[in-house]
Amino acid sequence: MILYLMCFFLFLVGLYGAITKRDLIKIILAIGIMGYSVNLFLILIAYRSGALAPILEKGLEFSMVDPLPQALVLTSIVIELGITALLAALAIRIYEKYDTLDITKIRRLKG
Amino acid sequence: MPVELWLYFILTVMIVGSIACLEIKNILSSIITIGIVGLALSLAFLFLGAPDLALVQFVFEILCVIILIRAFAKRSVKLTALKRDIPETVIAVVILAGIFVLSIFALKELPSFGKPIVSVAERYLTKAGMETGSQNIVTSIILNYRVYDTLGELTVLFTAILGSMTILRKIGRKKRDAK
């Protein structure tokens, strides 16, 4: 329970950054933090106390952790890298056009 | 030491690191701090019985830090002189604190830490070795049971890379044809 709460607090820290920061780089980093906390939350829910990693071995009859969230989080980590790269590319282009990364100054609509 | 104590420690490091990452003024230090947060996450995966995830998180975190440093630190982006809007920050903190209090009621309903409801996974755990012939059950799920999911993941990754190449190219197609 306390672990879940701390994990959710990490999500809220990321959300705080994404809401209040005016710098595009900080917003990209905040989105990354939110992704970390969601991944960690899924794995925390799947954990079974005293269990081993889900790798089969002959003669071992221990309980194993839930492998399904691990497979899905593996997908999610890879996608997060792609999103970060895309956001960084967009931020570089915006900086070339506007000479600033302050989101309150990026107002022109014309290219 | 039990796993919970390690996880409390790692999560504290992650929270402090992410707050520092958002508040530091220097952009290079900020990017390196998010690297620390990601590596702590990799350590947490290791304690939670997910070694595959720990390896993948480690590699991709380093790639992420390299991409961000290459994108921003070398271009000497000046951080805009930020005047802090006190009322906006206070409103945001109050609303987020409200969400946090509400989340306590929601998270109470979940099964407590260490005692999950394993219903779908029970079949994987007992039959995956026989049905797919893979020793690592995570591999057998990714590449056999849910292979369309992996195909979708690769499509998303390909689209993201294609998008960033398109955004970053210097010369558009029309200009090059005109030359």
What tens digit of pLDDT does each residue of B137-147 get? 888 888 888 89
What pLDDT was estimated at residue B172? 67
Q: What is the predicted ipTM? A: 0.89
**Angstroms from B37 CA to nearest CA on chain A:** 8
Res A84: pLDDT: 92
Residues paired with residue A11 on neighbouring β-strands, in sequence order: none
pTM score over 0.80: yes
Q: How many domains does chain A have?
A: 1
Segment B25-36, tens digit of pLDDT:
888 899 999 999
Structure tokens at A74: 């593996």
* A95 phi, psi to nearest 5 deg: -65, -35
pLDDT given at position B176 = 63
Interface membership of B34 toward A (CB under 8 Å)? yes
Contact B18 A33 (CB under 8 A): yes
Distance of alpha carbon B125 from alpha carbon B179, whole angstroms:
62
**A-contacting residues in B 46-85 (Cβ below 8 Å):** 48-53, 56-57, 60, 63-64, 67-68, 71-72, 75, 77, 79-80, 82, 85
**For the stretch B147-156, what's the b/e string if a residue is b when 16 or more beta carbons lie within 10 angstroms of its beta carbon?**
eeebeebeee
Residue partners of A80: CB distance under 8 A and separation at least 6: A32, A35, B60, B64
Residue B136 β-bridge partners: A55
Domain presence at residue A25: yes
Phi, psi dihedral angles at A23 (to 5 degrees): -100, 130
CB-CB neighbors (< 8 A) of A23 in chain B: 79-80, 82
Does A8 contact B100 at a Cβ distance shorter than 8 Å? yes
The DSSP symbol for A111 reads -
Return d(Cα B171, Cα B179) in angstroms, integer.
11
What integer best gives the mean pLDDT of chain B?
A: 85
Decide: helix, strand or coil at residue A80: helix
pLDDT level of residue B74 (50, 70, 90 thresholds): low
Q: What is the pLDDT of residue B56?
A: 93
Residue-range definition of the domain harbouring residue A93: 2-49+64-98
* Pair B160, A83: CB distance under 8 Å: yes
Q: Where are the beta strands (DSSP E) in B26-112?
A: none
- More confident site: B130 or B91: B91
Question: What's the confidence (pLDDT) of residue A95?
Answer: 86
Flag whether pLDDT at B121 surpasses 90.
Answer: no
User: Around Cβ B144, how many Cβ atoms within 10 Å?
Assistant: 14
In this prediction, residue A96 carries a pLDDT of 84
CATH number at residue A90: 1.10.287.3510
Which residue out of A38, A78, A83 would a mutagenesis test of the B interface target, given it has the greatest number of B Cβ atoms within 10 Å?
A78
Extents of the domains making up chain B: 1-84, 120-171
Collapsed DSSP state (helix, strand, coil) of residue B128: helix
B138–A74 CB contact, under 8 Å? yes
Disruptive mutation site among B8, B31, B42, B53 for chain A (greatest number of A CBs within 10 Å): B53
Q: Is residue A76 part of a domain?
A: yes
Inter-chain CB proximity B114 and A48 less than 8 Å: yes
What SS3 string covers B95-127? HHHHHHHHHHHHHHCCCCCECCCCCHHHHHHHH
The residue among B11 and A64 whose pLDDT is bigger is B11
Under the banding of pLDDT at 50, 70 and 90, the label for residue B65 is: very high
| Residue A108 located in a structural domain | no
How distant is the Cα of B177 from the closest Cα of chain A, in angstroms?
21
Higher pLDDT, B132 or B62: B62
Query: CB contact, 8 Å: B94 with chain A?
Result: no
* Residue B81 Ramachandran class (φ > 0 left, ψ -120 to 50 alpha, else beta): beta
**According to the model, what pLDDT value does residue B54 have?**
93
CA R_g for chain B: 22
Torsion of CA B166, B169, B173, B179, to 10 degrees: 180
Q: How far apart are the first and last CA of chain B?
A: 68
Contact between B134 and B140 under an 8 Å Cβ cutoff? The reply is: yes
For helices A24-46 and A67-98, the axis angle rounded to 10 degrees is 180
Residues of B with CB below 8 A from A46's CB? 48, 116, 121
Over range B78-92, report the average pLDDT. 72
**Tens of pLDDT along chain A (111 residues)?**
888 999 999 999 999 999 988 888 899 999 999 999 999 999 998 888 877 787 777 766 667 888 888 899 999 999 999 999 999 999 988 888 887 778 877 777 655
Top pLDDT among B132 and B58 is at: B58
pLDDT, tens only, B153-168: 999 999 999 999 998 8
Is the Cβ of B136 closer than 8 Å to some Cβ of chain A?
yes
The enclosing H or E element of A76 equals helix A67-98
For chain A, the farthest-separated pair of C-alpha atoms sits apart, in whole angstroms, at: 68
